[in-house]
Amino acid sequence: MSVLAALDKFKGTATSTELGAAVARAARAAGLDADAIVVSDGGDGLLEVFGGPNQQTGVTGPLGETVAAPWRLDGERAVIESALASGLVLAGGAAGNDPVAATSRGTGELVEAAIRAGATRIVLGVGGSACTDGGLGAVAALSDSVLDALRDRRVTITVCCDVDTRYEDAARVFGPQKGADPDQVAALARRLRDARAALLARFGVDVGAVPGGGAAGGLAGGLAAVGAQLRPGFELAAAESGLPAAVASADLVVTGEGRLDAESFAGKVVGGVVALARAAGTDVVAIVGDLAPGIAVDFPVVSLVDRFGVDRATRDAVACVEIVARELLTAR
């Protein structure tokens, strides 16, 4: 039996690469053929899907400090993760973030740097941001020459989204996750309405009508105003990594993510992998950090929290995944 490991990161605890390697070790220990593939829905891990970073640029971090943001340049194609320039982790998580002041400017500075380095095609993942500035920070960082190149399609940006949230809904949907209290959410919503009007007046694009425009606190919509195309991140990453063919050639796929909930089946990795497995007639199981109450699925799922408790599951996720994978695969 051949096993394919295709797990998303467990945010804040383990990467897709680390988790895939753990499952592959467990499979080989059980005497099975195994392979691992890095997966992403357009957020954390997108760079690894495309080969990892080979560039680094100092840019404005989410709270105004300078951060060294890694990115990738392959000929005329650049790959950028906004989380590495404007991410919530860089702001110290929700508790350390200033959700009103947080800016996407660093992401725009990375786009500018990539184009100046010769990129004409940019793949940009927008998951994990600290900001709800509607992309105004990123747009403000772009020079007139870059804006002209985007308008003329001499340079293209593909924004990888994992949500369909509309631009003006970003504050309500994502603000609390970034540390915003109810009053701040209301203020951010007002700012997004003003930003939508400003972008329409300047660029002639109504970002409020763009599905996914609210991703990363409206960063996706702000970039759409200057010519970026928004695409489902999982589909783009899967095509790049050869995931559909790998799933079809395996006998069993092991997938997973940090928390399995309703959103897992709306553009996220687990839902995408399960759909590919079903289409190929390949068995699939999931190992997840935690399982949201009331979630019903028709494939096997093991929760690390249920199996090991919150502390161990969080502190030693990779080892826990390897233990569970070995148990599952030995039983088969």
pLDDT at 318: 97
Q: Is it the case that residue 256 has pLDDT exceeding 80?
A: yes
Chain-centre distance for alpha carbon 250 = 25
Q: What is the pLDDT of residues 14-46, one digit of tens each?
A: 999 999 999 999 999 999 999 999 999 988 889
Closest CA to 137 of 79, 203, 70, 216: 216
Q: Is it the case that residue 251 has pLDDT exceeding 90?
A: yes
Q: What is the pLDDT of residues 263-312, one digit of tens each?
A: 899 889 999 999 999 999 999 999 999 999 988 899 999 999 999 999 99
Of 132 and 164, the structure prediction assigns the larger pLDDT to: 132
- HSE-CB of 114 using CA atoms within 13 angstroms: 33
Closest CA to 324 of 285, 276, 268: 285
Q: Is it the case that residue 112 has pLDDT exceeding 90?
A: yes
How far is Cα 171 from Cα 187, in angstroms, rounded to an integer? Answer: 9
Residue 81 phi/psi, 5-degree rounding, is: -110, 120
Q: What is the DSSP string of 89-117?
A: TTTTHHHH--TTT---HHHHHHHHHHHHT
Q: Distance between the two ends of the chain, CA-based, in angstroms? A: 10
Regarding the domain delimited by 2-37+242-331, which CATH topology (the fold level of the hierarchy) does it fall under? Rossmann fold (3.40.50)
How far is Cα 263 from Cα 216, in angstroms, rounded to an integer? Answer: 15
Regarding the domain delimited by 46-234, which CATH topology (the fold level of the hierarchy) does it fall under? Glycerate kinase, domain 2 (3.90.1510)
Place of tokens 């995408």: 272
How far is Cα 165 from Cα 221, in angstroms, rounded to an integer? Answer: 10
pLDDT at 195: 98
DSSP-derived letter for residue 41 is S
121-125 and 77-81 beta bridge pairing: parallel
- Say whether 283 sits in a helix, a strand or coil: strand
CA distance to 66, 189, 192, 212, 238, per residue, from 267 (Å): 32, 24, 24, 11, 12
Q: What is the DSSP string of 49-101?
A: HTT---EEEEEE-TTS-EEEEEEEEETTEEEEETHHHHBTTTTTHHHH--TTT
Q: What is the pLDDT of residues 202-242, one digit of tens each?
A: 999 999 999 999 999 999 999 999 999 999 999 999 999 99
How far is Cα 141 from Cα 291, in angstroms, rounded to an integer? Answer: 40
Q: Is it the case that residue 126 has pLDDT exceeding 90?
A: yes
CB of 329 within 8 A of CB of 302? no
pLDDT at 66: 98
- As given in the structure block, the two tokens for residue 223 are 């970039």
Binned at pLDDT 50, 70 and 90, residue 148 comes out as very high
Mean pLDDT in residue range 180-208: 98
Spans of all domains in the chain: 2-37+242-331, 46-234
Q: What is the DSSP string of 200-212?
A: HHHHS--GGGSTT
Which residues make Cβ contacts (< 8 Å) with residue 72, sequence separation at least 6?
47, 50, 51, 52, 53, 54, 55, 78, 79, 80
Q: Is it the case that residue 192 has pLDDT exceeding 80?
A: yes
pLDDT at 263: 87
How much is the pTM? 0.91
What mean pLDDT, rounded, does the chain reach?
Answer: 96
- As given in the structure block, the two tokens for residue 102 are 């947080």
